[in-house]
């Protein structure tokens, strides 16, 4: 199956913090990530599906841009993941939890647009050396 990928960037702050344990335990578990800090994230969104005979595309990347902007980036960019994002409430804003939450927001939005394209893969880069991957079926 063919796929196409578009890359997006956003900046956000977070703190890895379990409110059920002491500050010392949070420092032990999460080290420097227990303190408020920020990242310039990079999100790679891949969709797969048949290539349209009419357009020559799986999904118009302008449509994908609008979906990602409206469903994800407008909610995350220059925000505190711990405090400002309602759909992350009650979740530790780790890269793993963040990518799963982004998947849960994008997957139905892409399907809702009536294209045969579907969300295939997400890659979320927290830093140039740390990233998480979620693929269709996982």
pLDDT tens readout for residues 28-39: 999 999 999 999
Q: Is 75 a catalytic residue?
A: no
Pairing between β-strand 118-125 and β-strand 131-135 as defined by DSSP bridges: antiparallel
Distance of alpha carbon 79 from the chain centroid: 14
Q: Is the per-residue pLDDT at 1 higher than 80?
A: no
Domain containing residue 35: CATH number: 3.30.479.10
Q: Is the per-residue pLDDT at 115 higher than 90?
A: no
Distance of alpha carbon 86 from the chain centroid: 14
Percent of all residues in the chain with a pLDDT value above 70, rounded to a whole number: 99
State the catalytic residue, choosing from 33, 44, 109, 136.
Answer: 33
Per the structure, the count of domains in the chain is 1
Q: Is 37 a catalytic residue?
A: no
State the catalytic residue, choosing from 75, 115, 120, 126.
Answer: 126
Q: Is 115 a catalytic residue?
A: no
Per-residue pLDDT band for 113 (boundaries 50, 70, 90) equals confident
- Indicate the angle between helix axes 61-68 and 95-112, nearest 10 degrees: 130
Closest by CA to 76, choosing from 138, 20, 16, 11, is 11
Range of the domain at 65: 3-135
Residue 7 has which token pair?
């890359």
State the catalytic residue, choosing from 78, 83, 113, 135.
Answer: 78
pLDDT single digits (tens) 43-75:
999 999 999 999 999 999 999 999 999 999 999
Sequence-distant (≥ 6) Cβ neighbours of residue 83 within 8 angstroms: none
Q: Give me the torsion for CA of 109, 111, 117, 118, rounded to 10°.
A: 80
Sequence-distant (≥ 6) Cβ neighbours of residue 37 within 8 angstroms: 13, 14, 15
């Amino acid at each position: 199956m063919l796929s196409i990928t578009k890359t997006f960037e956003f900046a956000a702050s977070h703190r890895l913090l379990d409110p059920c344990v002491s500050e010392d335990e949070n420092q032990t578990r999460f080290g420097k990530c227990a303190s408020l800090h920020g990242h310039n994230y990079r999100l790679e969104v891949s969709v797969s599906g048949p290539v349209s005979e009419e357009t020559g595309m799986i999904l118009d990347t302008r449509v994908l841009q609008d979906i990602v902007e409206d469903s994800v980036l407008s909610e995350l960019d220059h925000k505190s993941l711990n405090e400002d994002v309602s759909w992350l409430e009650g979740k530790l804003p780790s890269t793993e939890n963040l990518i799963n939450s982004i998947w849960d927001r994008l997957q139905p939005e892409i399907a809702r647009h009536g294209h045969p394209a579907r969300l295939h893969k997400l890659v979320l880069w927290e830093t140039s050396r740390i990233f998480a991957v979620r693929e269709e079926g996982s």
